[in-house]
Chain A
Amino acid sequence: MARAGARRAVIWHILEVWLLLVAAFVAGCLLGSLINLVISQSPMARPQAAFADAVGGTIDVVKHRLGLAPAWHPGRYPPEERHFEDRLAGHLEAYDHDSDAVEERREGPSAIESMAEQPELAPEVAEPEPEWVEPEQDADWREPVWEDAVAAAVAAPTVVSPAARPLPEAEKEAEPEPEPELPAMRPAGLAAPRNGVPDDLQRIRGIGKKNEELLNSLGIFHFGQIAAWTPAEARWVAAHIAFPERIERDDWIGQATILATGGETGYVKASDRKAKAESEDPDMAGRLTD
């Protein structure tokens, strides 16, 4: 009798411990959500996004190492994209004729107007181009003559291969400097999707529901628009989305180019994957749902 009572007490104790741990976990979930929500609406939102991006990047690296990453990753095209360049050329031509956005971009007013709305960009836009001043010619300067070069080559005693020749100091100094960064520029957006049907931007890895809504609000509805972004435009968009580094890291432009030409990137959304599984094998879909 006493032994049964002791056993019951032990079982009860174990239950209590597990209940306590579950309660702590649930309380932690609520606390974590709350902290995330509060920070995302405070001035700390940007560092928070940067931190989340860093963590996401680390997870991506680990996933790649373990072979768990999705087939798509920047700079890698699926094997079926052998005729990618031909299709890209055809698409860009069609897009060129078709798209109002491209026309507007050529003519410029919408882009400039939109930049004028951005006070931080306005001075750079409004700045007049410096006038070209003809450089004064040196008195000793003369046109280079081929004969001089040939004579110099003949007079040279030995020929040293360019690879073996050490780089002269002047050439070392003349090494190309890193190009200065262009100012960010807002990409031309559409007032509404063409034919009223936007592309499913979530097919691009790195674009979720939130970023898709954000891009739509910027007038970006089609893969072709993203594929046509210049680096400056990509940088402008990056400053307005939830995770600024995603565009470059996930190569949105490369993915969008493939998707715009009717190709597949290999990245499939979870919801699409489930729908595909359902159509192919209802039993498997049921197991996935469970």
Chain B
Amino acid sequence: MLYLIAAYWPFVLLALLFGVAVGWWNRDPRNVDEMTAWLERGRDGR
């Protein structure tokens, strides 16, 4: 495992940071109604 981390550490770091952003956003109360609404925009285009 360590040799993998040593070889691919930039990608591992990137995945970790992306995970931190997602985890942070998931805890944020605004994602409950706003982000979901944005992702699930209806067929009426709103």
Tell whether A pairs with B: yes
B40-A270 in contact (CB<8A) = yes
- Chain B neighbourhood of A71, CB < 8 A: 46
What residue of chain A has the Cβ atom nearest to residue B19's Cβ?
A28
Asked whether B42 lies within 8 Å of A208 as measured between CB atoms, the reply is no
Least Cβ–Cβ distance between B32 and chain A, in angstroms: 5
Q: Mark B5-38, 1 if CB is under 8 A from A, else 0.
A: 1001001110111111111111111101110111
Q: Quick one: which of B8, B15, B20, B30 contacts A56, CB cutoff 8 A? A: B30
CB interface residues, A 267-290, toward B, < 8 Å: 267-270, 273-274, 276-277, 284, 288
Let me know if A33 and B29 touch, CB within 8 A. no
**Chain A residues positioned under 8 Å from B30 (CB to CB):** 52, 56, 208, 242-243
Q: Known: A28-B22, A31-B20, A208-B33. Is A268-B42 also a contact (CB below 8 A)?
A: yes
Give the number of A-B contacts (CB < 8 Å). Answer: 124
On whether the beta carbons of B24 and A210 are closer than 8 Å, the reply is no
Residues on A with C-beta less than 8 A from B36 are 270
Provide the main secondary structure of the chain A interface: helix
Task: Given A70-B46, A209-B32, A268-B42, verify A28-B17 contact (CB < 8 Å).
Answer: yes
Separation in Å of the B40 CB from the closest CB of chain A? 5
Residues of B within 8 A of A (CB): 1, 4-5, 8, 11-13, 15-30, 32-34, 36-43, 46
